[in-house]
Structure 1
Amino acid sequence: FRLFNTIGETLPSMALARQAVALAKGKSQEAVQAAASIAAERLLEMIQPLAAALFDEHRAAGRPVVMATTTPHDMVKPLADLLGLDDVIATKYRVNEDGTYHGTLDGPFVWSAGKLAAVRAWADAHGIDLAASYAYSDSVYDTPLLAAVGFPFVVNPDPRMAMMAAARRWPTIDLSEGGGSGMTRIPVVNLEIQRLALSFTHPLFFPYAKFDIDGVENIPATGPAIIVGNHRSYFDPMAMAVTIARTDRTVRFLGKKEVFDAPIVGQIAAAMGGIRVDRGTGSDEPLKAAAEALERGDMVAVMPQGTIPRGKAFFDPKLKGRWGAARLAAMTGAPVIPIGLWGTEKVWPRSARLPNVLNIVDPPTVTIRVGAAVPLKHQSPDADTKRIMKALMDLLPPESRVKHEPTEEELAAALPRGYKGDVDAEPRRRPGTD
């Protein structure tokens, strides 16, 4: 129950709920209703304190208040009656003539898309316009329902629904005693959303990778910091997040605009405080946004290389970086903390669209080393960038400093899928000075 309360509904738990109708076969409907009436008294005491005022507000506006729930109708109807609700849309069990349950459903399983279908059927039967209606939920599986009404609200959400609320820009209400006035808030750069996301970056969530992490104590416990890492894989930000999650800090990543343009993922990235970088424009806006975050005491993460080196450039022992991190450090005085990453390309090669999540028998090891703050002079962005890249190189294993002639297979893995460019020109392609 503690796991359910923390994570919320899951597909396995709802699959079990779907099978409950078979377990009810032969049970007395009257006995279930009687037990539900007793339980309703206890459940009434557990209703969120500010819910009553919300019900009253809708009643005063002439709106019917209806409960839509996956819970079987016979179990939840007594609670709905005690709350004075106008109707209940719930999963119904078929009943035999003798008053026992048949073991099958009498109608749809009212969950997720099925709940939306049941609500739509009820609304059509009662002449209710969903576009003018309100819906409240704490579960991510009610996303179809909330997306169908004109006024969706998220209430004391489970972790995934909190992320969805941020992505969809749905207002969130806290109806608990500590919820203040119950006023809605729309998350923009929400530290709680960031902490929530980081809570899902425990190594156990990545069975297809092993993590060897050291030096986390070098990440400042408080105050601004610029976290820099070398770039070998699309998995690098996740490896950095796994590392930062070992502290009590949150971090704002600078990310290329393509991430922010992606449906849902981009909205979540923005909600978590990600800073969009439109590469090639020369705009200072991302640096200004990052500087503002640092002035507030936040941490900002930057990949100075700007992109994953392609082809032969990937195997160059000497790392080359852009000036952004150095300029940001000069602007703010924030310390630059280097994180050396090695092995992430084995988890998610440049040539692959997705990480190899099936490799759980012998997953590759990702080595992560956090170094002390890089001593900078703040006089030349080029010189300071070289100091930053040198600090990153020093954190990598000895094999990284040996010049390596890649095999054809290794070279192909270091190129984007469908690459049609000039491999020999890649070492000259990046970095620039912006």
Structure 2
Amino acid sequence: MARRRVVIMGAAGRDFHNFNCLFRDNEDYEVVAFTATQIPDIEGRTYPASLAGSLYPKGIPIRAEQELQQIVTDNDVDEVWFSYSDVAHTYVMNIASRVIGWGPHFGVCSAVKTMIPSSKPLIAITAVRTGVGKSQTTRYVSRILKAMGKKVVAIRHPMPYGDLEKQACQRFETYEDLDRHQCTIEEREEYEPHIDNGFVVYAGVDYERILHEAEKEADVILWDGGNNDTPFYKPDLYITLVDPHRPGHELTYYPGETNLHMANLLIVNKVDTADPVKVEQVLDNCRSGNPTARIIKTRSVIRVEQPELIAGKRAVVVEDGPTLTHGGMAYGAGWFAARQAGAAEIVDARPYAVGTIAETYVKYPNAGKIVPAMGYGDEQIRDLEATINATPADVVVEGTPIELRRILSVNKPIATVTYELAEIEPGVIEEMVRAVVGG
């Protein structure tokens, strides 16, 4: 019987995991290509033979998603599997409508069948959209576990934007590890807070291997999810964050709605800065979408180091890149912090944007006057630095989770913003953590 010819659509993360779980060493299928989108410059690579397995001695090409129809036609493709996240349901079905018109079947992979079981208690932090507060929730849970005397290891959703062989299994414990692995701004945004809190974090490409390595040194594994993707591991406690700033998205974005339905605990975050009517709308959707889950409300507590740098000054605000790009937001913690600290003006950075940052504004006009902290490569980091320095402001309000000073030379003072989770009714998260971990 001929092998079924497959294309896996992705963005250098979930696509590789789905391949590893379902297609590697599976003689019924031949994956002719991955496609890539969302992240700049990740196409044109090869998924290496060392990761692809014995059926692919030359590896698997990674091509731009724009080439999908040509790939389907040239390779007589039988099936196309959609394997990336944080997109509207209509977006997925629009692609499906085109693909099935070209001839192949179109599908999405099972969340459950791509969850690897762990020998250790595993807590997963997920969301219905990117930018809801997964990282602060992961920090909150990790502190609970640390206070219980547990050795915590975090495993982060993949961001392998470089040499895939070298990035197959990465371990980060110090800032030197970040430098050694040549981490992008996006990677640093996720890894630095764990390191600052004294925790080891793993990431990479081969998540079965990563789990086995993490289990050697952990009492508890924390899955630190990316975008609104489902966990790569089978959780003992499944936590999903919901955003009242984007009501309705919990039911209309893929695969975030799956996280809503599967969660044991639904956290409606940022209720302190959201419209109460929208909070209630989201709560209603949580109750109807997952009637067995426990549902709580939390605040995202924003603090500014040296607020006097902002008061009465012109501020340029820098926010987490993915939140402003495919997350669709027009503001984040930095914007709220600038207003709370009394900035005289939030300066529009768009007229001063250069290179790839200017291109980002064109592609994601929702970002408005805020600077997205894009830094997927050296060129983009240089453009980010040039954009910030050219913007006529008195202070940079740093709403990203990293210290920009470590990687940029900025010609203005930087006011650092932090944000931490706070339960409206304290104790629920700890109660549920203890129930699965013991102690």
TM-score of the aligned structures, taking structure 2 as reference length: 0.24
Larger RCO (CA under 8 A, 6+ residues apart): 2
**Larger helix percent:** 1
**Larger strand percent:** 2
- Which one has the largest radius of gyration? 1
TM-score of the aligned structures, taking structure 1 as reference length: 0.24
